[in-house]
C-alpha cells in the first residue's frame, strides 16, 4: 500500500488469528513496538476461504488495529513475522473522521515522541 500526503493520517487495519491467545500475543507485540496504539480482539468469527484449491472453514479471532499512516510500512513489514499464518491477512481502511481526542491519543502513542517511552 503506497500512501500519499493527501491520504487520511489514521488507519484501521484488520487481521485475524487462530485463537484468542494468539491474537493477544500478536496485539501485545504490536502495541509494545508502538506500531499500533490499540488492538481489539474479537473472538468467535468463522472464516470460509480458498486455501490450496480447497474451500476451508476455520474458527478465528478478528483483530482491529488502530494506527497511523506514518506507521503503516513498519506494521506491514513486522506483522507477517509475528503472525501464525503462512499468509497473514492485513487490510487497511482509512479513518476519515473520529473523536478528536482519540485521534490525538492515537498519534501520540504511535508517534516518534512515544517511541522513547518503551
The C-alpha atoms of residue 82 and residue 18 are separated, in whole angstroms, by 13
The CATH code of the domain that includes 44 is 3.30.70.120
Residue 46 in domain: yes
Cα 79 to chain centroid, rounded: 8
Q: What percent of the chain has pLDDT over 70?
A: 88
| Domain span holding position 47 | 10-112
Neighbours of 66 (CB within 10 A): 21
Q: Output the average pLDDT for the chain.
A: 91
Confidence band (pLDDT; 50, 70, 90) for 118?
Answer: low
pLDDT at 7: 63
Q: pTM for this structure?
A: 0.88
SS3 content of the chain, % helix, strand, coil (to 5): 35, 35, 30
Residue 43 in domain: yes
Confidence band (pLDDT; 50, 70, 90) for 8?
Answer: confident
Neighbours of 4 (CB within 10 A): 6
Q: DSSP state, 117? A: G
Please count the structural domains in the chain: 1
User: Per the structure block, which three cell numbers stand in for 62?
Assistant: 478478528
pLDDT value at 114 more than 70: no
Kindly give the residue spans of alpha helices, DSSP state H, lying in 12-66.
20-32
The C-alpha atoms of residue 54 and residue 8 are separated, in whole angstroms, by 38
Q: Cell 513498519 appears where?
A: 74
Residue 117 in domain: no
Amino acid at each position: 500500500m503506497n500512501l500519499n500526503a493527501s491520504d487520511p493520517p489514521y488507519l484501521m487495519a484488520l487481521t485475524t488469528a487462530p485463537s484468542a491467545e494468539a491474537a493477544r500475543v500478536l496485539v501485545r507485540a504490536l502495541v509494545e513496538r508502538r506500531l499500533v496504539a490499540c488492538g481489539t480482539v474479537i473472538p468467535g468469527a468463522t472464516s470460509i476461504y480458498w486455501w490450496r484449491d480447497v474451500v476451508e472453514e476455520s474458527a478465528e479471532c478478528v483483530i482491529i488495529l488502530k494506527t497511523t499512516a506514518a506507521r503503516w510500512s513498519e506494521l506491514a513489514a513486522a506483522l507477517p513475522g509475528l503472525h501464525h499464518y503462512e499468509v497473514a491477512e492485513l487490510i487497511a481502511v482509512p479513518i476519515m473522521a473520529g473523536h478528536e481526542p482519540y485521534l490525538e491519543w492515537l498519534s501520540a502513542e504511535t508517534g516518534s515522541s512515544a517511541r522513547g517511552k518503551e
